[in-house]
Amino acid sequence: MKYYNPVIKGFNPDPSICKVNDDYFLVASSFEYFPGIPIYHSVDLINWRQVGNCINRSSQLSFDNVSDSGGVWAPTIRYSNGVFYVTATMQNYGNFIITTNDIYKDWSDPMWVSMGGIDPSLYFEGTKAYFCTNYSKHKEKEEISMAEIDISTGELITDIKPIWSGTGGGFLEAPHLYHIGEWYYLLTAEGGTFSNHMATVARSRNIWGGYESCPLNPILTNRHDTSKEVQCTGHGDLVEDQNGNWWMIHLGTRLSRRTMTHLGREIFLTPIKWRDEWPVVVNNKKASLENEGELSEQQKVRQNWYANFKQKIWEPQWLFLRKPKNSSYHKVDGRLLLYPNSSSFDGELQPTFVGVRQADFICTINATYYFATSVVDDEAGVVFYLSSNFYYSISKRKTKQGDYLIVERVAEDFKQIAYKERIKDGKISLRIIADKQYYHFYCAIGEEPLRFVCKTSTRFLACEMAGKCFTGTVIALYALGNAFTNSVAKVESFSILT
């Protein structure tokens, strides 16, 4: 059956998957955004729905002053004896484990593990649990290391032992351990998370090694893919479906222009075959956008997003920058009220900002809101946000000369007003039509028809332009101001159509 990648769109790097009966659950990195570690559910591996977030209480982890592409990353999800476990890395704190008996409800507070390295993973066998990271005991080489752990306390039971040093591709990380047939398999990522990324595998008959490298390594990489449709593939997890078919769920990128993407790393599904008791990606080791696989259901390709401001709870797709200030948001009478605060985007702060991942290059964003300004620098609208110094915005802003509709783009030390027009009070209707290369901005005030105002290149929101950026574009409603404003942005509707 034909299906298309990515199976989960928008920035969701470092995926991990587990199967419980006939259900699949998947988690991914969320970095500086709250709530953290999104949870997705599927019964067929190609149609996924976000059902929650592992980190949904500010008491679980501190997001204060988390840097761009910092925060929480590289989670692993596993299930054992009726309990779900997720382990991940938290910037400046280390590796932790959280648990739940019901994946649709809250998770525990973190249990910290005194083992260094990043990209932690868990493996269960009988009554034993093993903890694995890319911690290296020898400074002169990279290593994947493991220790047996007391899963109830997070304390290490054995010494930390290196078990594999990879293939020499560099940046050895993302270890996942499996026992399949007579072998223990260790799946890792190498090459760095950009264009040289790859998945490599080793095996041993003993859990502690020694591990022999697969003669076909890397088993997955798009680094030599001249089609340039998919790049940066690697960091994956293996799963067997109900019919005995094997798959790798892994990250990859779609390109918007040349070698760049502003969506970030997304989640791909690639079939695995077994050859001489080694897992093999049969498509010449490459992931592709269009695939054939032994699947039980048809894929639902289009996913429109409509915000629901009538319900008090936030849908799981909403994202806030770092720890949200709850006083900045209020839902009333089917509207979302945004109260500006003095935090801006330019720093490790918590501005009034709530958005969702941009899931496709080609989409249409609609928003309607009222915003009566009161003091200079009051501002509210829609922002296309990659990081604290790479973002585009369209907003109503109060200046010393009056209220203006402003389209602004920021790329590090480059700031440009792409469009500026004096506007009157009244309902503001925004529409942004996006394609791979441009955002096309439209606006209407009051009951006037929508009219085109300007377009901006997507180039400066590309992760590659922003340097070491591990996230992707988030489309958000926002409000900025200063300590003296009493303005409120009243949002009536917000949608993203694909």
Task: Give me the residues paired with residue 156 across strands.
Answer: 149
352: its two tokens:
């009034």
* Cα separation, 27 vs 316, whole angstroms: 13
Between strands 23-27 and 16-20, the pairing is antiparallel
* Cα separation, 203 vs 205, whole angstroms: 7
Is 173 an annotated catalytic residue?
Answer: yes
Which DSSP category does 14 fall into? Answer: S
Q: For residue 215, is it left (φ>0), alpha (ψ between -120 and 50) or beta? A: alpha
8 Å CB contact between 392 and 409: yes
| Cβ neighbourhood burial of 159 (10 Å; 0-12, 13-18, 19+) | exposed
* Cα separation, 1 vs 152, whole angstroms: 43
Q: How many helices (H) and strands (E) does the chain have?
A: 0, 38
* Cα separation, 14 vs 249, whole angstroms: 9
**Block residue for tokens 């048809």:** 298
Between strands 489-497 and 363-371, the pairing is antiparallel
Residues in contact with 425: Cβ distance below 8 Å, sequence separation at least 6, in sequence order: 372, 403
Is 333 an annotated catalytic residue?
Answer: no
Q: Which amino acid is at 159?
A: D
175: its two tokens:
């270890």
**How many residues can be counted in the chain?**
498
Q: Which of 32, 148, 173, 378 is catalytic?
A: 173
413: its two tokens:
């030390």
Task: Give me the residues paired with residue 130 across strands.
Answer: 123, 148
Q: Which of 14, 32, 68, 378 is catalytic?
A: 14
- Catalytic amino acids? 14, 173
